[in-house]
Amino acid sequence: MDKRNLKGWLYLLPAFLFLVVFMIYPLIDVFIYSFEEGFNFASQSFFGVGTYNYSYILHDPYFLQAVKNTFILVIITVPLSTGIALLISLGLSSIKALRKLFQTVYFLPYVTNTLAVGLVFMILFKPTEYTDGLVNLIISWFGGSTVDFISGPYWAKMFVLCFYTIWVVMPFKILILTSALASVNQDYYNAAKVDGASTFKTFTKITLPMISPSLFYLIITGFIGAFKAYSDAVALFGTNLNTAEMNTIVGYVYDMLYGSSGGYPSFASAAAIILFAIVLTITCINLMVSKKHVHY
Amino acid sequence: MKVVLQNLTKKFPGRGKKSEDVVAVDNFNFEIPDGKLVGLLGPSGCGKSTTLNLLCGLLKPTSGKVFFGEDDVTDLPAENRGVGMVFQNYALYPHLTVRQNIIFPLQNLKGKDKMSKEEMGKKALEVAKLVQIDELMDRKPKELSGGQQQRVAIARALVKRPRVLLLDEPLSNLDARLRLQTREEIRRIQRETGITTVFVTHDQEEAMSISDMIVVMRAGVVQQIGKPQNVYDDPVNLFVAKFLGTPPINVFYGRIKDGGLYIGDGKIADAAGVPDQDVYAAVRPEGFILDDNGPLCCGLSRVEIMGRDISVVSTHDSAENPVIRSIISSESNVNTQSPEVRFSVKPNKLFVFSGQTEDRIRIN
Amino acid sequence: MDNIMDYEKIEKSARIRKKTVKTVTYILLGIWAIMVLFPFYWMILTSVKSYSAYNSEYIPTFFTLSPTIQNYIDAFTSVPLAQYLANTAFFAIATTAIMLAVTILAAFAFARLEFKGKNIAFTLFLSLMMIPNELVVITNFVTITDLDLRNTFTGLILPSVTSVFYIYLLRENFAQIPDELYYAAKVDGTSDLKYLLKVMVPISRPTIITITILKVIECWNSYIWPRLITDDSAYYLVSNGIQEIRENGFGRENIPAMMAAVVVISVPLIVLFLIFRNKIMEGVARGGTKG
């Protein structure tokens, strides 16, 4: 009996070691850090315990800018990307020819390095020596006036960031929604057809309720993912995001930890916990809403 | 509403580049009289479900036409045909209650047929009463038993007063006892509403018991159409004979020689005027008569007593199957000690089929 | 007669509508396909334009008549791109290998062995799935710094190993293997470890391949941890490498050469994807999220 117990734990030991050292201990520690005031990295000492770290970052204009950027990003990209993904998935599941090809193409952004392809987006939007960049060229074809997307006005930069974020998250959403649509029994559609339902009615009354679990899963993970946005912004605007006014909450955490303004794990911890609290709240709200609307 | 199928053919493209088209339904001609219950019968893959889908408009025929009454509906999409359909797995919308499921087709009516909420509710209740589920209206499908789900599906198909009611294997998901009960129910509902009804099944007993007419299909080709009893009593080929009847018909390899039908050495029946050839001789289980001087001599395996009847299980060298099953009245005496048993055969329960084409050869 | 006219009208409008819907669908799908593919096209196109040609364009051109591979040569000679690739390959392989060993052992314990505290341990594992990386990365950074493991592969790899989700995925797969096989093996005198390696691992190969590929993708794209833990370019991975190239590479802003580096970085994963397309998509659908 004892030997059996020992054996079970022996198999678990490696996983447990990794988890305790790199997940459980840090998880507790981050809360402690966030309340240790005036923590000094070099001497590993601190002055006292309190909420100063929180009040400091909540008054830090860079943090407030990061919160604002993150919220704008979330509010724009989550509904937009989910909506477009739904549209594309519906289109995909209604065709036969070329379907495999489209699916493969649409999935490509998932397997690309966010940083690397972000650079491509940057040069698409960025002016070169003698031109205003490709996107501006297209804008001017349609008679619009050009704008500097990479170092120009705030809204233009935000547009590029949202655009790239949507481009990056799309493959996952399309994949989940197409498989959700494929798992709806064809008989339901046949029955609706025989019952004389219009295409629109079939969509709202049958398709949507049937895929609502997947849809809400996507919305929830979409919110969580968008709140953690960071590397897309780095790819487009470089590592000095505060100057570019394009920092995100996660970016702020890392900047506080390491980087130009780095060396303050206490501030970083406080920011990370605030982020975690925001994400947790939003997720709970999402779950409550989904309980009401998701069938089954 | 009578339903006419005219030279109806459906081909599906074959898989792979060089393979030929698969003919699912081949040149189907049939006129279903108004208000009848018709069973489409055949083994799986025989094209019966395809036929049903052609009728409801979910599939378009490759050639041929479908008429409802005088109207040519061949190219009319399913949503405009006004048919009711019950799917094999019922296809009840899991997120809607029974009431919402039944009302669903009514909400899709347009123009002058459009109904108010109260009318819809009334109609739904009416049809729910007809299928006896009016007390389950606020449940969700997953809270219902299989039989109840089946009734909801029928109610949903009936609520808009369809011109034609179609049922795809309506009983296959029910257990044996419910199946018996539900098929009577379907018969009753069909009688009460008088709606022309077509249903698909692979279970010959089911088809025989409730249909006004049956259509036996095989590999896309209609084999025989008729009243169930007529088809049973007068099959046109070996396939139909084998497909109908439980226990199944007993098939022997026989031959026609000098104006007589022989199984082994015994002359079973006269076959005057029929040219000599190898044939299949098929005898219904109830077609055997115990007869000590009978021409058919079989090895006796065992006797099973089933109350009213007894079943004699025997063997014969020329039989297609290892056992021959005959059903005789329980008043007969079988000598169970004897190693063999002799039969003579009732002429009207004996069918002869060509050894080559398997088509019926009439010997009397 | 009236009736027949009516039917013809319905049939015709249904046909037309069907055709229109189909055309619009293909156009929309085509537009998105172009949106996805265009950045890749532009990346390859720019990478074969010469530096002077690119910078002297007055209008961006959509093709080039004189492709050059000079940029690729630059990418490998002026900046240590090969070093970055080698680092990333080593990092990905080592991390994935350790992850696999740890995951398989843990999944086996959870799926097959009986021991005290198993259920509590499993619940704990499951709840760890919800912990965001951002929370723990701070302390890990401090830990690794304190251990003097900055700018080492050990420091890069160790915190990247843990993947609770993969343990969960593999456990589910292991749990589906019938008990009879285990009892039969026991009767034959097989040890647990041998049973795990000779029976369970081969049977679960599809899942193991899936998590391997997903982990490799994750490693290849990882940016945040390597950025925190390395500032010596000898230990840069491709993500940090490309950032470094962007900010300090080539001595001037050489966009064509930068694009050449981007192509080189992107190709391995795209090739991997095209080979294991079904496995990857199925694995991601079962619960991968990006990042």
In the predicted model, is pLDDT for residue B225 greater than 90?
Answer: yes
pTM score of the predicted model: 0.84
Q: What is the predicted pLDDT for the residue at A296?
A: 54
Find the CB nearest A30 among C56, C135, C266: C135
Q: Do B58 and A190 touch (CB under 8 A)?
A: yes
Confidence class for position C266, pLDDT limits 50, 70, 90: very high
Mean pLDDT of C250-273: 88
Condensed to tens digits (0 to 9), the pLDDT of residues B190-223 reads 998 899 999 999 888 888 888 999 999 998 899 9
- CA pair distance B329, B290, nearest whole angstrom: 10
The string of DSSP letters for A271-286 reads HHHHHHHHHHHHHHHH
Mean pLDDT of B27-56: 90
- Express as a percent the part of chain B with pLDDT over 90: 37
- CA pair distance C250, C70, nearest whole angstrom: 13
Mean pLDDT of B48-74: 90
In the predicted model, is pLDDT for residue B343 greater than 60?
Answer: yes
Residue B83 three-state SS:
strand
C3 vs B: CB within 8 A? yes
Q: What is the ipTM of this complex?
A: 0.89
Identify all chain B residues contacting A191, using CB atoms and an 8 Å cutoff: 85, 87, 91, 93, 156
CB C159 within 8 A of CB C135: no
- CA pair distance B328, B25, nearest whole angstrom: 40
Identify all chain C residues contacting B73, using CB atoms and an 8 Å cutoff: 7
| Paired tokens of B184 | 């009577």
CA distance A82 to chain C (A): 14
Contacts with C, A 112-131, CB within 8 Å: 112-117, 119-121, 123-124, 128-131
Q: What is the predicted pLDDT for the residue at A70?
A: 95
CA distance C4 to chain B (A): 7
3-state secondary structure C195-264: HHHHHHHHHCHHHHHHHHHHHHHHHHHCCHHHHHHCCCHHHCCHHHHHHHHHHHCCCCCCHHHHHHHHHH
- CA pair distance C264, C72, nearest whole angstrom: 8
Chains that touch B (3 or more CB pairs under 8 A): A, C
Long-range contacts of A252-256 (CB under 8 A, 24+ apart): A252/A57, A252/A62, A252/A63, A252/A66, A253/C134, A253/C138, A254/A230, A254/C224, A254/C227, A254/C228, A255/A62, A256/A57
A285 vs C: CB within 8 A? no
- Provide the residue type at A146 as one letter: T
**Which residue in chain C has the smallest CA separation from B57?**
C11
Interface test with C, best of B65, B70, B76, B112 (most C CBs within 10 A): B76
- Provide the residue type at A154 as one letter: Y
CA distance B165 to chain C (A): 20
In the predicted model, is pLDDT for residue B334 greater than 80?
Answer: no
Q: Do B57 and A194 touch (CB under 8 A)?
A: yes
C273 vs A: CB within 8 A? yes
Of A124-128, C106-110, C184-188, the range with the highest mean pLDDT is: C106-110
Find the CB nearest A187 among B82, B89, B105: B89
Mean pLDDT of C281-287: 80
B56 vs C: CB within 8 A? no
Chains that touch C (3 or more CB pairs under 8 A): A, B
Q: Is B133 exposed, middle or buried (0-12, 13-18, 19+ CB in 10 A)?
A: buried
C181 vs A: CB within 8 A? no
Contacts with A, B 89-118, CB within 8 Å: 89, 91, 93-96, 104-105, 107-109
Confidence class for position C178, pLDDT limits 50, 70, 90: confident
Mean pLDDT of B103-121: 85
Q: Do A11 and C141 touch (CB under 8 A)?
A: no
Cβ contacts from A onto B, under 8 A: 67
Condensed to tens digits (0 to 9), the pLDDT of residues C30-48 reads 999 999 999 999 999 999 9
- CA pair distance C105, C39, nearest whole angstrom: 42
Specify the CATH number of the domain A57-111+169-293: 1.10.3720.10
- Provide the residue type at C238 as one letter: V
Cα–Cα separations (whole angstroms), residue A67 to A232, A249, B357, C137: 16, 6, 83, 20
Q: What is the predicted pLDDT for the residue at B17?
A: 65
CB B132 within 8 A of CB B145: no
CA distance C265 to chain A (A): 7
Q: Do C14 and B73 touch (CB under 8 A)?
A: no
| Paired tokens of B146 | 């299989």
**If you average pLDDT over every residue of chain C, what do you get?**
87
CA distance B135 to chain C (A): 39
Mean pLDDT of C245-267: 85
Mean pLDDT of A73-80: 96
Condensed to tens digits (0 to 9), the pLDDT of residues C158-172 reads 999 988 888 988 998
Condensed to tens digits (0 to 9), the pLDDT of residues A91-135 reads 999 888 899 999 999 999 999 998 889 999 998 998 877 778 888
CATH number (3.40.50.12780, 3.40.1740.10, 3.30.1520.10, 3.40.50.300) of B3-237 reads: 3.40.50.300
Mean pLDDT of B257-278: 87
Q: What is the predicted pLDDT for the residue at A42?
A: 63
Least reliable range by pLDDT among B105-114, B274-283, B289-298, C238-247: B105-114
Boundaries of CATH 3.40.50.300 in chain B?
3-237
Half-sphere exposure of C81 (CA within 13 A, CB side): 25
Identify all chain C residues contacting B72, using CB atoms and an 8 Å cutoff: 4, 7
**Which residue in chain A has the smallest CA separation from B92?**
A188
- CA pair distance A2, C251, nearest whole angstrom: 65
Confidence class for position C287, pLDDT limits 50, 70, 90: low
The string of DSSP letters for C118-161 reads HHHHHHHHHHHTT--HHHHHHHHHHHHHHTT-TTSHHHHHHHHH
Q: Do A137 and C128 touch (CB under 8 A)?
A: no
- Provide the residue type at B100 as one letter: Q
Condensed to tens digits (0 to 9), the pLDDT of residues B151-179 reads 999 999 999 889 899 999 888 888 888 88
Q: What is the predicted pLDDT for the residue at A260?
A: 60
Q: What is the predicted pLDDT for the residue at A275?
A: 92
**Which residue in chain A has the smallest CA separation from B165?**
A194
Confidence class for position C236, pLDDT limits 50, 70, 90: very high
In the predicted model, is pLDDT for residue C99 greater than 90?
Answer: yes
Find the CB nearest A194 among B83, B89, B109: B83
Mean pLDDT of A50-76: 92
Q: What is the DSSP letter of A109?
A: G
Confidence class for position C288, pLDDT limits 50, 70, 90: low
In the predicted model, is pLDDT for residue C289 greater than 60?
Answer: no
- Express as a percent the part of chain A with pLDDT over 70: 95
In the predicted model, is pLDDT for residue C2 greater than 60?
Answer: no
- CA pair distance A107, C104, nearest whole angstrom: 29
Identify all chain B residues contacting C11, using CB atoms and an 8 Å cutoff: 75-77
Chains that touch A (3 or more CB pairs under 8 A): B, C
- Provide the residue type at B18 as one letter: K
Q: What is the CA radius of gyration of chain A?
A: 24
**Residue spans per domain, chain A:** 57-111+169-293
CB A250 within 8 A of CB A278: no
Mean pLDDT of B117-121: 90
Q: Give the residue ranges of DSSP H helices in chain A.
A: 2-19, 25-35, 52-58, 61-94, 99-107, 114-125, 134-141, 154-182, 186-194, 199-202, 208-227, 231-237, 249-257, 265-293
**Which residue in chain C has the smallest CA separation from B80?**
C10
**If you average pLDDT over every residue of chain B, what do you get?**
88
